[in-house]
Amino acid sequence: MNYRKVSASARQAQQRLAVTSRFRLRVRRSAIHGLGVFAGQAIPPRVKVIEYGGERISRRETRRRFLRILKDHRGTFNYLARLNSYWTIDGRVGGTGAELVNHSCEPNVGPRREHGRLWFVSLRRIRKGEELVADYKFPRHGLRTPCHCGAASCRGTINRH
């Protein structure tokens, strides 16, 4: 991915974050993977930080998009977040910027499903400048995805054990 494209993507995501979160959040390069979301201010524990938004798609469409991601994995990221047994949110289409929250085996935000919406909620106090990270918990028996979070308790994979 070239620098101008990344910069444009970061600017667009930054604009979406500014209108979708009550906290100041910043988009910048992440040591974990590509771009990440960083706290622009301290965030208290157990509060909704940002909604994971995007296009709501059915099980059938989720499968179709996931298989396309697997087939054309070069430069294609998975922004599919399961809402319930039928609906999935595709953050690539109309996302709020929350789709840039990276995985870590030691998360500081976690998902909360509430009234047909998906939120990232702080699990503890998050310091200003700290990257927001969630445990993706990919399926145990799914495609093994290596983890690069660097946490002391890193499982070595994004998949559940």
**Residue 12 pLDDT greater than 50, yes or no:** yes
Task: Tell which wins on pLDDT, 36 or 92.
Answer: 36
Q: Given this structure, which CATH class describes domain 3-134?
A: mainly beta
* Average pLDDT rounded to a whole number, residues 125-147: 89
Locate all alpha helices (DSSP H) within the chain, ordered by sequence.
Answer: 3-20, 59-71
Give the whole-number percent of the chain exceeding pLDDT 70.
88
Contact 103, 145 (CB under 8 A): no
Query: pTM for this structure?
Result: 0.84
**Residue 2 pLDDT greater than 50, yes or no:** no
Domain parsing of the chain, residue ranges = 3-134
